[in-house]
Structure 1
Amino acid sequence: MPLLQVIIYDCDGVLIDSRESNQAFYNHILARFGLSPLTEAQLAVVHVSTAQGAIDYLFQGHPSREAAQAYQKTINNAPFLPLIRLEPNIREVLIRLRFRYRTAIATNRGKSLPLVLRNLGLDDLFDLTVSAYDVTRPKPHPECLEKILTYFRLEPEAALYIGDAALDQKVAKAAGVDFAAYKNPGLTARYHLESHVDLLAVLKL
């Protein structure tokens, strides 16, 4: 990949295992408004959504939807951080990558992203982070990837996006960026990674 200059990561499910944390976060909101906990199907949806999109989905047709939206913006994320775990080897791989490539994040996670990265010791390992709060059109629109390409003044061929969901595959295709699927063999991708160390072999590092 002689033209590759920036490696872009999704956050949840790729850099971090946040499923338990997200489940607790949204169950807290649902309980606040007297609703039942998330089903597995609902968890799968909110896990890849923006917070606003998740609330719209969970409270569709419910009279408390606007109140729930307002409430989620006030929640202190700190109590949910201990439930988030780093994916294996990600810190070591990022350190090695940064000798040769720029690194970035494109995610639908919102205001909690800086806190999560700082808490897990990843905040100094990315040249740029683009969250749902940094774009007007979050994923599945490719604005997050386009913003990163514009920032680095790069063409799509110079980037690789690593994601774990069909949403990420769709975003990469829309932006014209090569896609690497992380721990999801069912996705269509140029590369399939079962671990972050696999990327080092792909890049011959």
Structure 2
Amino acid sequence: MQAVLFDFDGTLADSYPAIAASVNFVRAQRGLPPLPESAVRVHVGRGPGHLLTHTVGVGDPAENERIYRQHHPTVMRQGTRLLQDVAPTLMRLRERGLRLGVCSNKPVAYTRELLEELGVAGCFEAVLGPEDVARPKPAPDMLLACLARLGVPAPLAVYVGDMTVDV
């Protein structure tokens, strides 16, 4: 094995409080009551468009996504934390010579900013998001593009995620 690729939300970090806060901000703009985090969580993983279609469901989808993207940076730092044992695990993998990457359907700018904020950005040689490929996960495009950037063939890599959309 030469590389390990990771999903971000739910695998490296718990960002569900921030995601739920932004969803509920959009819902409030539409006159809807807030949803509990658990109701938001089940729709995370396929990007903001999918998330908002299933958690807001009214109003112009493009406008809902614009509101979400405008609000999310105001809460994402304080609403995201590294999951337990992630940092030492990443360090051990790097010490063993493995190349690490992140493949997330979260907008790549958010993922990069959060990796910096959480102090683990330096562990990863490649960070990709839906903007980097023609088809987001579960299509294989993002994982294959990440492996190409790392120069590692697919049979020599593993992917770690927490949802079926990850594969």
- String of CA shifts for 1:63-100, please: whole Å, max 9, x gaps: 33232122223335143311211111111111121121
Q: Does 1:82 align with 2:78?
A: yes
Aligned to 2:91: 95
What is the one-letter code of the residue matched to 1:48?
A: G
Aligned to 2:137: 139
Structure 2: where are the runs of 5+ without partners?
Answer: none
CA-atom RMSD, angstroms?
1.9
The number of aligned residues is 165
Q: Following the alignment from structure 1 to structure 2, what is the Cα–Cα distance between the partners of residues 82 and 25? A: 12
- String of CA shifts for 1:152-193, please: whole Å, max 9, x gaps: 33322111001111222xx2xxxxxxxxxxxxxxxxxxxxxx
* Alignment of structure 1 residues 9-28 onto 2, 5 Å: 9-28=6-25
TM-score normalized by the length of structure 1: 0.73
Q: Following the alignment from structure 2 to structure 1, what is the Cα–Cα distance between the partners of residues 72 and 136? A: 22
Shift, 1:9, TM fit: 0.6
Q: Following the alignment from structure 1 to structure 2, what is the Cα–Cα distance between the partners of residues 47 and 81? A: 17
Aligned to 1:112: 110
Identify the structure with the greater helix proportion.
Answer: 2
What is the one-letter code of the residue matched to 1:57?
A: H
Q: Following the alignment from structure 2 to structure 1, what is the Cα–Cα distance between the partners of residues 101 and 41? A: 24
What is the one-letter code of the residue matched to 2:44?
A: H
Q: Following the alignment from structure 1 to structure 2, what is the Cα–Cα distance between the partners of residues 52 and 146? A: 23
Aligned to 2:128: 130
After superposing the two structures, state which structure 1 stretch, 149-158 or 109-118, moved more.
Answer: 149-158
* Alignment of structure 1 residues 124-203 onto 2, 5 Å: 124-168=122-166, 171=167
What is the one-letter code of the residue matched to 1:97?
A: L
Aligned to 2:61: 65
What is the one-letter code of the residue matched to 2:117?
A: N
Structure 1: where are the runs of 5+ without partners?
Answer: 172-205
- Any runs of at least 4 consecutive aligned residues in structure 1 with deviations exceeding 6 A, and if so which? none
Question: Partner of 1:77: helix, strand, or coil?
Answer: helix
Q: Following the alignment from structure 2 to structure 1, what is the Cα–Cα distance between the partners of residues 163 and 27? A: 25
Structure (1 or 2) with the larger CA radius of gyration: 1
Shift, 1:41, TM fit: 6.3
Structure with higher RCO (Cα < 8 A, 6+ apart):
2
Question: Partner of 1:74: helix, strand, or coil?
Answer: helix
Aligned to 1:194: none
Aligned to 1:192: none
Aligned to 1:196: none
Shift, 1:40, TM fit: 5.9
Question: Partner of 2:76: helix, strand, or coil?
Answer: helix
- String of CA shifts for 1:105-133, please: whole Å, max 9, x gaps: 01111131111111111111100001122
Question: Partner of 2:71: helix, strand, or coil?
Answer: coil
What is the one-letter code of the residue matched to 1:155?
A: P
CA contact (8 A) 1:33 1:64 kept: no
Q: Following the alignment from structure 2 to structure 1, what is the Cα–Cα distance between the partners of residues 68 and 110? A: 11
Distance 1:116 1:40, change over 3 A: closer
